[in-house]
Structure 1
Amino acid sequence: MYLDCRGVGLLAGSTIMLLTLLWGSCVLGKTDIKNSRVIDSQDTKKLSLTGSGIGVDIWTSYAARIMVISVIPFIIVQLPQIPHTSSGRRLAVLIALIVYVALLVSYCLYQLS
């Protein structure tokens, strides 16, 4: 049985594109920062890499962590692809499925609490 990974690449590519668009729109809304704190809602330092940035709250930080954790099943599926061998691909897909279901249940429980 041949495993076709083109759909996975398309899904990953579209997700990366959408996240990049979101990141780009956030950069347009950057503000001045001094001592790691947003000091006002104005952007007076147009091209400063250290004097301007994006202020976020703690909930944004939690959402970013959840997004990073959600990549784990994708990494598990891709690990057997590195040595270009066919052995272990089905096992990797099974392990990724189990991890995915566990993450889905834990995310649902997180939303309920």
Structure 2
Amino acid sequence: LALATETWISLWNLETYQKTCDLGKSGSFFHKDIIRDIKFSNNGDILATGSNDSKIILWHFESQKGSGKLSGHLGPVLSLMFSDDDRFLFSSSIDGKILIWDWDSGDII
């Protein structure tokens, strides 16, 4: 389970009811404003977070480390969704754009 707490994410183990870690509290991967959406990839390997800072951060779930930043929106990121095959990430923003990302390369399609 992933919960947004302002600008970082807390991961919880639902079997033990214990918090396993906090993502984005320190290091080079963090949001500068409130997180608006969190989505796991369908295979559970990647966690994507979108924020009022207009950025999307990708997290490797197993290593619990940031693996990429996606920049392309001019306003807060409102929602995220992975494609069924996990090849693409869709994002919407208050800037009125819906972007399709090849999240592995960081390119906008």
Is TM > 0.5 for Structure 1 vs Structure 2? no
**Structure with more strand by fraction:** 2
Q: TM-score, normalised by structure 2?
A: 0.20
Structure with higher RCO (Cα < 8 A, 6+ apart): 2
Give the structure with higher Rg (CA). 1
**Structure with more helix by fraction:** 1
